[in-house]
Each structure stands twice: as C-alpha cells, then as structure tokens.
C-alpha cells in the first residue's frame, strides 16, 4: 500500500488534490475505482479520463482539469505509469539461498544474496552475482556468468560460456548459447562446423519466452545494453545487436548480421545474413530485410490483407508483373508514335 | 481390444457385416489389414476403400457398398474416426499420486486423483483438480489453478496467476504467463512496464509445444473455451481469443487484439495489435492482418511461390507499382483524348 | 594442443612451412595470431589472408603464395575448417554414468557408456545406446530409442515412441513427438484426433533449440539421415523429410507434406500441407510454398524491402492489380483499333 505522496515523490510529479490517499492497485482508466492509481497517456483517452473513478490519475498538465479526484501531473504519464508499475508487481522479493535439491558444481561461485530454486543445475566455474534469481529446472552450463540482480526464470537453458550483464531478465524456455546453424557441404552430406564462440549479453537486457540466441561460430554473439527481445525471437550465430534495440515476437535475425542501436523490428520479420542495419532503423511487421540498410528510417515489405477472392486474382497477376511493365512501356511508345502521326496528319 | 459392436455403439453407427470381429488398431485405408478399423472420409478415397483390407471401415451411407469386409455406417466418418481415435491412444491412464521427488508447496491443494511426475515444482496456493496430470520437470507458479482432467506435459512453465479450465492439454516447452512485451520509452532507454495481469484459459483448450501465452499488462489475457493453439504460436498480452478459434503453427497475435469465436488462422500468420477480428474470420497461411476485420470471411495477403528468376523480375517491378498505376492512368487519358481527336478529324 | 603435422594429416593436406608449430585455437583470418589455425575460403578474403598472422592457414592451391607463415593446402578450405573445428570444441568428452538424481525406469536399457545428467527422467522400455549424452532436466518418454553417440541437450522433451538414429544432436527446449494439430469439426466444437503414430529420425540429424517435430496421426513422422533443422522450426504430423535436407530457423512444414532429398529451405518460410516437394528444391527466405513442386530449382514468394512511404503506395495498388491488368488489356485493344483506324484514314 502506498500513499499518493509517495507515488508523486517517486515520479517527481505535482499533486492536485489529496496526498494522503492510500493506493493499492494500478488500473486502466475504465476499470479503476477507489484505491487505484491510473494514467491518461493519449488525447483519445480524455473521455475515459472524465469518467474515471480512480483515487489518483497520472496526467499531463493539459489534462489535469479532467480528473475527478486527485491528479499527479507529470511530463510523460505513460512513462510514469511504467515506472510505478514495478511497485505493484506480483513477484515476491527474492529469498536468498539455494534449494537443497539444486545441483551446483563445487567450482561455481554463487552469491549468498542470490536465490537458486529447486532442480536448477549450475555448472563448473559459473559465477552468479548478488540479487540474482535462478528459476526451477533451469540449467546453467559451465563457465557462464550472470551479473548482479539478473533474473533467470524457470526451465531456461544456458549452454557453456554465456555471459549476462546486470539486471537482465530471461524468460522460460529461452535457450542461450545453442549451436549456430553452421555446416559445410561435403560429398557425404553436411559437415558440422563446431560452434566455438560464446554469447555476451549486456546490462538491462530482457529475453522473452522460447527465444533462442545462438553462440558464435568463432567469435561471440553480442547483445548490447538495454536490448529487449520478445518471445520466440531467433538470434543466429555471430549476430550483433546494438544498444536499446527492441525486437518483437517470432522475428529471426540470420547469421553474422549487425543491427545498430535503437532499432525496432516488429513481429514475424526477418533479416537475412551478413547484413548491416543502420541505427534507428524501424522494420514493420512481417517484413523481410534482404539487403543492408544504410539510412535510418522505416522499412517494409509484403502486401496488405484483403478478401481472399480478390487477393487470389491479384496474386495471379503479380506473377506477370514484369510482363505488364513491359507491355505498359510498349503502349507508351505506341501512344507517342500514334499521337505524333495524328498530329502530322493534321498538318502540323 | 474392442469389438465392432462396441465401436458401432459408441459412434451410434449401423453395422453391415460381422459385429463380433476384434479390433486392435486404427489405420488409414491403404495400410489397414485384419484387426484394423479404418475410415473413408472423402470421395477421392473411394478407390482406396475398394481395396481396403480393414476388418471394419467407417463409411457414409453412399459408400457402404464399396466395403470389402464389415462396415459401420455413420453420418460423418471423419468425425467418427476422431471420436474413436482416443480408444487407441498410447497414453497410459494417469496414476494418481505425487512423485516423491516433486516439490509441492504446503499451501498448494493437489487432488488425490491427480498425478504429479518427477521434478515437478508446484507453487504456493496452487489448486490442481482431480484427474489432472502434471508432467516431469514442469513448473507451476504461485496462485495458479488447473481444473479437473487437464494434462500438462513435461517441461511446461506456468508463471504465477495462470488459470486453466477443465480437460485442457498443454504440450511441452509451452510457457503460459510470461511477461508481455511492454516498455515505455525514456531518455535512458526502455522502461519496463511490469505485467500485473494474469492468464485465464477456458475448458477444452489445447496448447501446442513451445507455444507462449503472455500474461496481461493490467487485466488478464483470455483464451475462450475450445480454443486450439498449434505449436510455436505466440499470444501477446491482453489478447482475447473467442471460443473454438483454432490457430496453426508459428502464428503470432500481437497485444490487445481481440479475435472472435470460431475463427481459423493458418500457420505463419500475424495479427497486429489492438485490432478486432470478427467471428468466423479465416486467415490463410503467412498472411498479415494489419487492420480490424468487421465482416466474417476468408482473408489473405502475400504473393504466390514461383521460380526465383521470374520472381526477382516481378519483385523489382512491385517497387514501382504506384508509378505503373499512374502511367496507366495517364495512358488512358491520352488514349481518350487521341481517340476523340481522331473521331473529330473524321468529321463526326 | 595440436601440431601442424597432425592437422595436415587429418585433413590430408600439404604443408608448406613448419610442420612442428603448436596450434591451440581456431580463428578467423582477421583476428588470428600465433598459435592459431585459420582458413581462407573465398577469393574476397585474399586481402585478409595477406595480413593474417595465424601460425597456419588452410588454403587452396591458388592462394598458397599469399600465406605469411605456414600453409596447409587442401581442396576445400571451408570444408577443411569445418572438419577441424571439432578438435577445438568446448564440450567435454562425455563422462559415462547416471546422475544419482536422475530417474530411470527399471525397464529402460541405458548403456554403461552413456551419460545421464541430473534430473533427467527416462521412461519405460527406453533404449539408450553407447556414447549417448542425456542432458539435465531432459525427459524421455516411454518406448523411445536413442542410438549410439547421440547427444540430447538439457531441457529437451521426447514424448513416447520417438526413435533417433546414431550421432544425432537435439538442442535444448526441442520437443519431439508432441501431438499433431488434428481436429475434426463437430457440432460442439473441435473433436481431438488422438495422434497414434510416432517419430522416426535417421542418423546424423541435428535438431535446433525450441524446434518441434510432431508425432504422426496414424503412421510416423519421418526425418531422413543427415537432415539439419535450425532453431524454432516446426515439423507437423506425418511430414517426411528426405536425406540431407536443411531447414533454417522459424520455418514451418505443415501436415503430411513430403520433402525430397537435398533440399534447402531458408528461414521464416512455410510449406502448406499435403504437398510433394522435389529433391534439390531450394526455397528463399520468408517464402510460402502452397502447391507441390515437381521440378528442382530455386523458388521464392513475397516482395522486397523498401522505404515505408513508397511501400505503402505500392501496397495499395497491389489490391487493384487485377483491375490494372484488365485496364492494360483494354488499352492494348483500343490502341490497336485506333492505330488501324488512323492507318485506314490515311488511305492504306
């Protein structure tokens, strides 16, 4: 339970109304009632704001007159909401100590301020910092390091030689450091290229459920500070992701591609291998990037959704688009010649 | 082992032939022999039906004369096959009891008619109903509930506050209730929005291997009764899926989108965030839905597969499609003017 | 530590320089120094080769004069690099024996030359061959068999009746043998079709992290010798993959499709159900194959990445592409008529 005053102080906001109110929950405008803190982030939510029964609402200066009860005025209500959300999180504070049925190699160094849950397996020479949480049934391979205050959820796998920075979160079923997909063709089939590099992950990185980050072939796969990966993202060997780049669900980045800082890649997209993507590049959903991007901006591929019958007709035409373009060019030429001929016939 | 009579009674079908035959296996028409039950669901399978050596075949009325041995006549042979398939399942009946090496919180309530396998970890205040199966190495977070006769396979993870209805199946490596992908931009990078909602899943829901269903940001992610999710599906935070909607492999539904009842979404598709999709909407494979759909029907996007050389030429033309459209319009105008001019010159 | 002589002998290469040098690491040309073996696979790497400080470099005959120190001349330096990479692998040799906290059914047969790690669970009648490695927290269902020298990493799940050949590798979070996505429509919703088949996997198959291979509905799902599946690949029930076919990340193959030998399918692609794909077919990234392919070759679908503003204009036009094609045809007809008319007016 928090007071309006505590929230305002943390957010460096200005209270208009009752600083003493007790707040127990964070709610959207439409369902908030007494005891709730809510927020108004968009002009289009102003109608909901007018009707909102929250005890306190985080608002911009221009919206403060619409608040029924108490307001906290902040510069960016959405960011303020994000910041305060942690106060209402369901996760218990970690309980330092190692579950007696966890298996921890003798050569591993696990901070006394870390929590290791049941059936976790921690390999040789692993180093786990203070404030870390290692979930149940998670396996940490040899020679890994996990810096302070990182949280590895249940059923995660880290292969050997994976290094995470501070305050990282890795969600369940994620796999860090599996072999990259590297094979050389031989007369008898594919010859495996053993993947000798590791994975280096910066600070404040979040990795979603079932996301996979492969180890490098010879050098490391590298993920910069503040990167956010959604669920089911695939990061291939030798990829480098710049700082604060965010990648949404089910996107795949192929081998040896380097992506700059502050990029966003929407879901179900792909970037093929050995490319360079400039900082501040943004890719829309289900787009395939198949050449390097040198200039920041928004990029897309694909076609738009439409009713199946018309789509089917259009798709058939796509297969003769090059022919259509040539026929169009021919027509333009014929038109020009014919127009000239008619003009000439007219005696110009 | 079952008799033809037992099968016919369960399916409410009519036996033509020997009701006493013993059936030990369910087989496709082409490989069935003595001791097998098979089925003929399509007209195009009639030739296979004629040659089929199964002891008994499930057929429609119109196909019964094609059966060599015994027939069971039913209204819908494919549905009848589906219903009878359970009788031949390889899964053993559950063996109620808790493995001694499972870890179950004292505050958890696990039915004595449930089975909990080795190295499962069950959190505080969890409620597990009669007839449930909790696979090996599966982790169930605090405050979850799993209603009667649900089956959670091995290596599944449920975060805290995930609720499943009756008769659900959750396949291995699935993750229910991981954090939604929510961040607010700040001067120093992405500020995490803690995900405070849970996941509510109805009755008779099946969730495929490595499928991920995120918890809601403030409210719950909700999956309706009878929903079927294939493998590697991604359901983002705050999504609502209507009853009996089926989603095939590797499809992603982005945050806060609501999908109606009885929809089907084929594999590798995507639906972007904050959309409303009408009931009875069907999306074909690898389509991206980027606006709300108000009218039931079949929808598609993308282009068709073709040999790479012609595809490459067509793709280049796509990038000047808008120019082509404008040039076409110009030509039409010029054509009209020229035609009028020629007419006028002709003295009309 | 190896000598140049040992490496050359294994690769059947010719040494030009010092056969006694000691090699401790495998490195790319640009970062190699004393103690490294490197390789030059492409003409475009010749500049790097000239500057390379590696103790020894694997090169083709034509590049040998560019090597600063010692060279080993081989027919295919990339393949030679792949072959030698195993010598530098970080994985320890397996330590035969069963962790005391693994759970192994009494009816299971586990070779004394196999290693079973902590919290692995091995079901009834399982057969595990010599030289196998079963990672921590991995679950092997009843009636599975894993042939000699296969490696199952941590947190993998095999359902019952999954059979792997020799020298396979299965990466973490992979799920083999989960139920295929099979349902029949009924008046009360989807009726599950119990999946009664198994999974048969050949020799020398590698299966990536979080990849899923479903069991067959009535018969088996079959994966041929030498197949390589990247991470997050989805193989549906009844699929058959021919020998040495390689499938990159996040690709899905739908039910009952048969893919021939020696195919390659790039990432994020899909093949719809019940298709036949000829041997030596190659599919480029994010392509959807929706009809059978009878002729070997390279195939593609989709459109190319471009800046969002122009893409948006082109995408709108795509929805009237069929109309454009008809208008183009009309214009061609009008043009022909008008041209004839003008000719006639000219008195031809």
Pairwise CA distance, residues A247 & A98, whole Å = 34
What is the radius of gyration, based on Cα positions, of chain C? Answer: 28
Question: What are the backbone dihedrals phi and psi of residue C77, each rounded to the nearest 5 degrees, phi first?
Answer: -60, -35
Q: Could you say which of C26, C230, C304 has the minimum Cβ distance to residue A196?
A: C26
- The predicted complex's ipTM stands at 0.97
Residues 6+ apart with CB under 8 A from C321: A313, A314, A317, A318, A321, B321
Nearest in space to B194 (alpha carbons), one of A86, A29, A230: A86
- Does B175 contact A at CB distance below 8 Å? yes
Per-residue b or e along C211-237, where b marks 16 or more CB atoms closer than 10 Å to that residue's CB:
bbbbbbbbbbbbbbbbbbbbbbbbbbb
CA distances from C260 to C222, C225, C285 (A): 12, 12, 18
Residue A346 confidence (pLDDT): 74
Closest residue of chain B to A250, computed from CA coordinates:
B252
Beta-carbon separation of C181 and B249 below 8 A: yes
CB atoms within 10 A of CB B222: 20
Q: With contacts defined as CB-CB under 8 Å, which chain A residues touch C204?
A: 189
Note the pLDDT tens digit of each residue in A242-281. 999 999 999 999 999 999 999 999 999 999 999 999 999 9
- Does A97 contact B at CB distance below 8 Å? no
Pairwise CA distance, residues C4 & C18, whole Å = 7
- Does A230 contact B at CB distance below 8 Å? yes
Q: With contacts defined as CB-CB under 8 Å, which chain B residues touch A319?
A: 303-304, 306, 310, 314
Q: Could you say which of B228, B306, B316 has the minimum Cβ distance to residue C183?
A: B228
Note the pLDDT tens digit of each residue in C3-60. 999 999 999 999 999 999 999 999 999 999 999 999 998 888 999 999 999 999 999 9
Pairwise CA distance, residues A170 & A150, whole Å = 8
Residue A343 confidence (pLDDT): 84
- Does C168 contact A at CB distance below 8 Å? no
CA distances from C220 to B74, B86, C213, C269 (A): 27, 17, 11, 23
Pairwise CA distance, residues B15 & B34, whole Å = 17
Dig out the tokens for A340 from the structure: 């000239």
Q: In angstroms, what separates the C-alpha of A190 from chain B's closest C-alpha?
A: 24
Pairwise CA distance, residues A141 & C135, whole Å = 11
Contact A255, A274 (CB under 8 A): yes
Instruction: Say whether pLDDT at C323 is over 60.
Output: yes
- In terms of phi and psi (left: phi > 0; alpha: psi -120 to 50; beta: otherwise), the region of A250 is left
3-class DSSP state of B19: coil
Residue of B69, B163, B171, B237 marked catalytic: B237
Chains touching B, CB cut-off 8 Å, 3+ pairs: A, C
Pairwise CA distance, residues A126 & A128, whole Å = 7
- Does C93 contact A at CB distance below 8 Å? no
Dig out the tokens for C73 from the structure: 């001349």
pLDDT per position in chain B (348 positions), as tens? Answer: 899 999 999 999 999 999 999 999 999 999 999 999 999 988 889 999 999 999 999 999 999 999 999 999 999 999 999 999 999 999 989 999 999 999 999 999 999 999 999 999 999 999 999 999 999 999 999 999 999 999 999 999 999 999 999 999 999 999 999 999 999 999 999 999 999 999 999 999 999 999 999 999 999 999 999 999 999 999 999 999 999 999 999 999 999 999 999 999 999 999 999 999 999 999 999 999 999 999 999 999 999 999 999 999 999 999 999 999 999 999 999 999 999 988 887 765
Residues 6+ apart with CB under 8 A from C179: B169, B171, B206, B208, C194, C195, C214, C215, C237
- Please give the interface size between A and C, counted as residue pairs whose CB atoms are below 8 Å apart: 248
The burial of C334, by beta-carbon neighbours within 10 Å (0-12 exposed, 13-18 middle, 19 or more buried), is given as: middle
Pairwise CA distance, residues C258 & A62, whole Å = 62
Dig out the tokens for A319 from the structure: 């297969």
Dig out the tokens for C77 from the structure: 């330096």
* Sign of the torsion formed by the C-alpha atoms of A291, A293, A294 and A298: positive
Residue A345 confidence (pLDDT): 77
For testing the chain B interface, which of C218, C220, C229 should be mutated: the one with the most B CBs within 10 Å?
A: C218
Confidence of residue C346 (pLDDT cuts 50, 70, 90): confident
3-class DSSP state of A83: helix
CB atoms within 10 A of CB A309: 11
Note the pLDDT tens digit of each residue in A189-239. 999 999 999 999 999 999 999 999 999 999 999 999 999 999 999 999 999
> The tokens 């994010």 sit on which residue?
C286
- Does B178 contact A at CB distance below 8 Å? yes
3-class DSSP state of B341: helix
- Does C266 contact B at CB distance below 8 Å? no
Residue of C237, C274, C282, C291 marked catalytic: C237
CA distances from B125 to A95, B106, B110, B122, B301 (A): 18, 8, 10, 9, 46
Beta-carbon separation of C193 and B85 below 8 A: yes
Closest residue of chain B to C319, computed from CA coordinates:
B301
Pairwise CA distance, residues A332 & B329, whole Å = 11
Dig out the tokens for B246 from the structure: 């089926």
Contact C201, C223 (CB under 8 A): yes
Residue B348 confidence (pLDDT): 56
> The tokens 């006549």 sit on which residue?
B73
Beta-carbon separation of B231 and C181 below 8 A: yes
Beta-carbon separation of C319 and A306 below 8 A: yes
Q: What average pLDDT does range A307-316 have in this prediction?
A: 97
Beta-carbon separation of C118 and A103 below 8 A: yes
Pairwise CA distance, residues B224 & B232, whole Å = 19
Residues 6+ apart with CB under 8 A from C216: C180, C195, C196, C197, C198, C199, C237, C238
Residue A348 confidence (pLDDT): 56
Residue B38 confidence (pLDDT): 96
Closest residue of chain B to C197, computed from CA coordinates:
B90
**Residues composing chain C:** 348
Q: Chain C window 23-82: which residues touch B at a Cβ cutoff of 8 Å?
A: none
CB atoms within 10 A of CB B199: 26
C-beta pairs of A104-113 under 8 Å, 24+ apart in sequence: A105/A142, A111/A148
Pairwise CA distance, residues C67 & C70, whole Å = 7
Beta-carbon separation of B300 and A308 below 8 A: yes
Residues of A marked active site are found at 237
Residues 6+ apart with CB under 8 A from A339: B334, B338
Q: Strands, DSSP E only, in C24-135? A: 25-26, 36-39, 56-59, 70-73, 97-98, 103-104, 109-110, 115-116, 121-122, 127-128, 133-134
Beta-carbon separation of A318 and C321 below 8 A: yes
- Please give the interface size between B and C, counted as residue pairs whose CB atoms are below 8 Å apart: 246
* Angle at which helices B321-345 and C308-318 cross, to 10°: 50
Q: In angstroms, what separates the C-alpha of B157 from chain A's closest C-alpha?
A: 7
For testing the chain A interface, which of C173, C203, C299, C328 should be mutated: the one with the most A CBs within 10 Å?
A: C173
Beta-carbon separation of C172 and A179 below 8 A: no
Q: Chain A window 183-212: which residues touch B at a Cβ cutoff of 8 Å?
A: 204, 206, 208-210
For testing the chain A interface, which of C84, C267, C280, C288 should be mutated: the one with the most A CBs within 10 Å?
A: C267
Q: Could you say which of C289, C314, C328 has the minimum Cβ distance to residue B305?
A: C289
Beta-carbon separation of B192 and A82 below 8 A: yes
Residue C348 confidence (pLDDT): 56
Beta-carbon separation of A209 and B175 below 8 A: yes
**Residues composing chain B:** 348
Q: With contacts defined as CB-CB under 8 Å, which chain B residues touch C101?
A: 101
Please, what is the end-to-end C-alpha distance for chain B in angstroms? 90
Contact C122, C108 (CB under 8 A): yes
Residues 6+ apart with CB under 8 A from B177: B141, B158, B159, B160, B161, B162, B198, B199, B213, B214, B215
What is the arrangement of strands in the sheet containing B70-73, beginning at the earlier edge strand?
B14-16, B70-73, B56-59, B36-39, B25-26
Dig out the tokens for B67 from the structure: 């059966």
- Does C312 contact B at CB distance below 8 Å? no
CA A159 centroid distance within chain:
22
Beta-carbon separation of C285 and A289 below 8 A: no
Residue A1 confidence (pLDDT): 86
Tell me the pTM: 0.97
């Amino acid at each position: 339970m928090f007071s309006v005053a505590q929230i305002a102080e943390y957010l460096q906001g200005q209270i208009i109304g009752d600083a003493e109110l007790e707040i127990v929950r964070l709610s959207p405008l439409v369902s908030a009632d007494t005891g709730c803190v809510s927020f108004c982030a968009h002009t289009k939510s102003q109608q909901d704001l007018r009707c909102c029964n929250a005890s306190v609402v985080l608002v911009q200066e221009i919206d403060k007159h619409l608040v029924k009860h108490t307001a906290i005025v902040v510069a960016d209500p959405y960011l303020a909401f994000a910041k305060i959300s942690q106060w209402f999180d369901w996760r218990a504070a970690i309980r330092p100590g190692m579950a007696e049925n966890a298996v921890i190699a003798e050569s591993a160094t696990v901070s006394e301020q870390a929590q290791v849950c049941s059936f976790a397996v921690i390999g040789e020479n692993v180093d786990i910092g203070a404030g870390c949480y290692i979930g149940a049934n998670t396996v940490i391979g040899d020679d890994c390091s996990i810096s302070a205050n990182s949280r590895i959820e249940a059923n995660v796998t880290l292969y050997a030689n994976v290094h995470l920075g501070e305050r990282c979160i890795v969600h369940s079923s994620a796999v860090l450091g599996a072999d990259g997909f590297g094979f050389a063709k031989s007369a008898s089939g594919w010859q495996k290229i053993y993947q000798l590099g590791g994975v280096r992950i910066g600070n404040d990185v979040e990795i979603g459920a079932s996301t996979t980050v492969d180890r490098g072939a010879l050098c490391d796969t590298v993920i910069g500070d503040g990167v956010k990966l959604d669920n089911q993202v695939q990061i291939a060997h030798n990829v480098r992701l710049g700082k604060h780049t965010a990648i949404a669900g089910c996107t795949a980045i192929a081998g040896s591609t380097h992506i700059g800082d502050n990029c966003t890649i929407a879901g179900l997209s792909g970037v093929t291998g050995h490319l360079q993507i400039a900082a501040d590049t943004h890719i829309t959903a289900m787009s395939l990037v198949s050449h390097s991007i040198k200039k920041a901006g928004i990029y897309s591929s694909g076609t738009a959704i439409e009713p199946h019958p018309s789509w089917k007709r259009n798709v058939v035409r796509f297969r003769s688009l090059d022919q259509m373009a040539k026929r169009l060019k021919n027509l333009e030429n014929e038109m020009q010649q014919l127009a000239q001929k008619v003009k000439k016939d007219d005696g110009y």
